Structures are given as structure tokens and as C-alpha cells.
Chain A
Amino acid sequence: MSTVSATLKTAPAGNASALLLVLKLRTFIALIAVTLFFALMAPNFVSVANAVIISKHVAINAILAIGMTYVILTGGIDLSVGSIVGLTGMVAGGLLVHGIPLPMLGVIVYPNVIEVVLISLLVGTAIGAINGLLVTKLGVAPFIATLGTLYVARGAALLLSGGATFSNLVGRPELENQGFPVIGSGTVLGVPVSVIILIIMALVAAYVAQRTPFGRKVYAVGGNERAAALSGVRVDRVKIAVYMISGFCAAVVGLIVSSQLVASHPASGNTFELNAIAAAVLGGTSLSGGRGLIGGTIIGAFVIGVLSDGLVMMGVSEFWQMVIKGLVIIAAVVLDQLQRRLAANTRQG
């Protein structure tokens, strides 16, 4: 990198600030570049229907990445989200297929779809709260705490069915629990429900992060935890809240994934956490905390989504898809470092 910074230092100030602008917008430029590339290379890539499909695929990762961004903004990390996706999907599937048996009353209660959704969201949020408590009250490093819950939640998902899939989650008329597939395959005016959920969640998350006292506290905790605490921010509360947000987001994704497949599989969501972290980092969120935007994360998720769908449509082998995705993530981080050096140099100059 020494040669790069040497060039940057000697570059005229005008060029430097133009370069800085390009670097700042790099994720957006990357999105336009990959979209243009596939528009030229992949058959039928440019169509409204395909845009809808890509948004649907992106929604799964982007919703997880919203929660992940909040956690990373406080300087933490949440590795458990993929497992929470699997567990909440299994909770929903189990409630729809088997209900809640009450042995002392000798009856089985079948909650309706709204109740199933609420219970699943509660389970996800509760696991997030456990993560938060482990990190704050017990002082476990976020990486370790959420690695622990990653295993516990995945194991619990497998235990719920003994490893089997809950299939055919359409509900039964006599139990009044029909309608679950709407979350994954329903549309409103041609827009999939999952994409509408993403839009609402992204807008709310961006508003909360930028315009509310809570949002400012999240940035403050990630920027300088000690200074935030000294200025009266209840650091523990903020941290517990961000892990709960992340757990909630993961539960939403768990519901969408099992609704799309009309089946819940205990291994579902495996390694989703890595895609969510990649989207946040690609979107300019700093893993050391305090820096990043929800909007950037969403664009980051779209870069990954357009890339994977486009490569499938071009018929590129799975092995190359993995290599290309990895290279894009590395390039994003390298450019991030470059931007920071350049910004520092420009300020000095």
C-alpha cells in the first residue's frame, strides 16, 4: 500500500477530491457497473419481472443486513442471525403443523397466522435480547457470545422436529390457520410482500439511525464507548437494543424463507450471517463501529444480489460465483481503506 499512498500524496488536490467522491460513491458505482454488465451479458436480464425477482432475493439478505448494521455500528457483530432464521422458521412451521398441545387440558391450540408470526418474531427478538445480555451484563465478547447462540439456536431448530422438515405449511381451513404463504409469495400491485417489508424496514431503520436520539446513541457507542458513557448514554441498554433489532430482523427473514418454500427446514439460513456482514461492509459500514449508513447497506446487499442472480442467469459455475463474490468483498474493503487514507491526506493538504 505504500506506493499507493505515495501516489495519492503527490496527486494534485483537485484530482484527489474528485477521486474521493468516486470512492465515496463506490458501492453505488459498483451497483451500476454490475447491472450494466449483466444487462449486456445475461439473456432477459433487463425486465421488470427480473427486477422484481432480484429484489425478492435481495430482501432476504438486506433485512438481515439492516439488523447487522445496527450491531456493527455499536462495534459489535451478530453471528447468530443465520441460526435464528432457521429456528424462527421452524417455530412458525411447527405451530402451523402441530399447534401448541396443552396436555393438562387435553387440547391442542392452533394459533392463527398472525399469532404464529408474532410468536416467531418474539422468539427471534428474545434470542437477540439474550445476545445483548451476554455481551453487556456478562461481558462476553460479541463474536463469542453470538457464536454460542449460533450453535444453540441451530441445535434447537433441529430438536424441534428431530431434524425433519415441516412441509406443506398452507394451514387447514378447519383450524383457521391458512394464509402463511402470503408472506413469501403474495404481491401487492405486482410488488412481492417481502420487498414491501424490506422497503418499510429500511425506511424505518434509516430514519431511526439518522433522526432519533436512539440512533445518535448507537453511533456514539460505536464511535467512542467511554465518551458516550461519560456523556450519559446508557451503553448497555443501547447494545441490548441493537441485538434485539438484529434478532427481530432475522425472525422476519425466517418467516419469509419458510413462507416462500411453504416448508421450514432446520438447516435453513446456514451461513446467512456472512452474507449480511458482507452487505454491511460492502455498503461502507466500518467493522470497528461508529461509521455506516442503512442506505449503504441496502446498496451493498443489491450489489451482492445482482451479482449472484446475474451469474446464475449467465450460467456461470457455482465455483466461479464464490470466487467472484469473495473478490468483490475484498475490493470493497481495499477501496474503503483507500478512501480513508485519501480523506486524511486531503484534510492535511
Chain B
Amino acid sequence: MKFAKTLAALALGAMAGIALAVPAMSQDGKLIVIITPSHDNPFFAAEAEGARSKAEELGYSTQVYSHDDDANKQNQLIDSAIAAGAAAIILDNAGADASVAAVQKAKDAGIPSFLIDREINATGVAVAQIVSNNYQGATLGAEAFVEAMGEAGNYVELTGRESDTNAGIRSSGYHDVIDQYPDLVMVAQQSANWSQTEAFTKMESILQANPDIKGVIAGNDTMAMGALAALEAAGRSDVIVVGFDGSNDVRDAIISGKVTATVLQPAYRQAQWAVELADKYLKEGSTGMDEKISMDCVLIDASNAEQLETFALAE
């Protein structure tokens, strides 16, 4: 971290902001606009980077934006994309219902949208919706959790933001597996809103109420890391932790034996695939595939953690 550099960057940032607002048309006018949730979650940063690099490799110019899970901001960004004359939009949307109108607006303006990571509650509006199979991923994580627990013992579940569809899908995937084992008892279930800080404080309180726990299963990796920090502060290295996403932090914790497993959503590859489909659609008028495409998740444990880097598994 360089203070001088940061100061300069802050000043430049203001100028860059102005520069970005001007449509960056490439010579053939083909622009791909990439819109994801905030990049402060490395998962979305990997998604944006995957889409950007593939688009530039295929000769498109790009604009990368973040809607910060605000449907209103997303709506404005789509307006800007329409105004900029985008050829296609790659979107990780800000809400299954709240995003339908915005995607429809792009379609009406003749701009095809390619959705990644999250679905919208409408078909025929976006050209493609590539979604990780969160349910399948959750059952993988739950199976690894059950095995590490030895099919018995008290455990805690930390769930994601309760208004987020994926939080519910993952939780039900976990329970469809774990609830088959009557000796596995959930003693506490709390939402930590995907947040590391919240997972830390809540885990500390839960540990007080229930010192006799054997495992923690978290709806994403940042919450798993928060829970791990609380367990370590309490000297509880015996507790089994399982996460979801496949972040580099959890990968390192798996390698050092602190976390049992996580589930990788191939965010980087998924975003690249969306751009490939967009390219095909723009050239041939069709992606040649159904609108809804499901990508399977992969279990990451001690056996393959070394191959994981920024949400992509080396082959």
C-alpha cells in the first residue's frame, strides 16, 4: 500500500470516473457491458475479470460496473449501457424479481443480456441464464460435512442474507442431506448476512450458549472465515468448518487443516462462458443452447485445494 500512489490514484480515480462515463467505443463499435455485485467480494471480482478478459480476447471493448445489490442502481447502469450503444450485457443481477424490468428494457432496446450466477424470475427476457447449481453444490458440501462429523454430533449453521435466493437454496441443500442423520443435531441457526464480522460475533455468542458443538456449516466462505476466527480465539481447533464459494482464503485454511471443505462455484469460467455465448449470439443470431444453463459445483477439500486459484480449478 503506497500512500502517495493511493492519493494519486484517488485523484486519477475521479478523472477515470469521468472518462469511463464516456462510452468507450472500439473501432467496430462492439461494446460489452459487464455488471456484477460489489467487487469487495472476491467472487464477483473474479466474475468481472473473467468476463472482461474473455471479451477483450475476442476483440470487444468493455465497461465494468458494480450495482452493489441495489436494483435501482442496476436499472440506471442498464440505462447507461443502452445509451452507450452496448452490443451485449453480461449481468450478475441484483434480485430475481427486481431485475426483470431492467433486463426487459435492454431487450426492447435491442441489446441481448447474458445472466450469470443468479437467475431472474422470468424466461424469454434474457438470452441466456447460466447459473451454478447451488443445490447440487450444497449437497456436496453437506456430504463432506456429514462424513467429517462422523454422522453424529451438535452443529451450527450460519446462513446468508435471508432475502437472497441462494441463501435459501444452499440451506435447503444442506438440510436435505444432513437431516437424514438423526444423530446430527442443529443447536443454532443464525443469519450472518454473508458477512465475516457478523459471523465472528455471532459465532462467539453461539459458542457461549452451546459449548458442546462439533461442527459449523456456513452458507459462504466469508462467514466460514469469520466463524473460524471466533473458534480460534476460543481455542476450539477441534470444530469442523465447511464453507461455500471456493475463495483463496478458505483454500489456504483447507491446506493448513483448519477448514474441512468448501464448494467451488466456477465463477471465472462461468463469466467467460457467458461472453463466449454472447459472441456466438451476436455473430450467428443464436447461442444454440437453452436459455437456462446449469453449471455443476465442485467439492474442494484437502485432495484438490492446491489446484484452486481465484475461483478456478486448474485442470
Which residues of A come within 8 Å of B, CB atoms? Answer: 42-45, 47, 49-50, 53-54, 56-57, 90-91, 94-95, 97-101, 155-156, 158-165, 167-168, 184-185, 257, 260-263, 265-268, 309, 312-315, 317-319
Contacts and interface: CB of A to CB of B under 8 A. Distances in A.
Interface of B: 1-3, 6, 9-10, 13, 38-42, 45, 162, 188-191, 193, 195-197, 200-202, 204-211, 222, 225-226, 229, 232-233, 249, 252
Contacts of B222: 265
B193 A318 contact: yes
A289 B252 CA distance: 50
Given A45-B208, A263-B229, A268-B196, 11 more contacts: A44-B211, A100-B2, A159-B9, A167-B249, A168-B249, A261-B197, A265-B196, A265-B197, A266-B40, A313-B206, A313-B208
B6 A312 contact: no
Nearest to A265: B196
Contacts of B190: 312, 315, 318
Nearest to B9: A159
Nearest to A186: B233
22 contacts: A42-B209, A43-B209, A45-B208, A47-B208, A56-B204, A57-B205, A91-B1, A94-B1, A100-B2, A155-B10, A155-B13, A156-B10, A159-B9, A159-B10, A162-B45, A163-B39, A184-B233, A257-B197, A263-B225, A266-B40, A267-B195, A319-B162
A260 B6 contact: no
B204 A265 contact: no
A42 B197 CA distance: 23
Contact of A95 (B1, B10, B189, B202): B1
A109 B249 CA distance: 25
Nearest to B45: A163
B45 A263 contact: no
Contacts of A261: 196-197, 200, 225-226, 229
Contacts of A160: 1, 6
Nearest to A94: B1
A101 B202 contact: no
B188 A315 contact: yes
A309 B206 CA distance: 9
A44 B211 CA distance: 9
Nearest to A156: B10
Nearest to B3: A100
B40 A158 contact: yes
Contacts of B226: 261
Contact of B39 (A98, A162, A168): A162
Contacts of B13: 155, 159
Contacts of A158: 39-40
Given A57-B204, A261-B197, A309-B205, A164 B45 contact: yes
A-B CB proximity, top 7 nearest = A94-B1, A163-B39, A313-B209, A318-B191, A50-B208, A312-B205, A163-B40
B197 A268 contact: yes
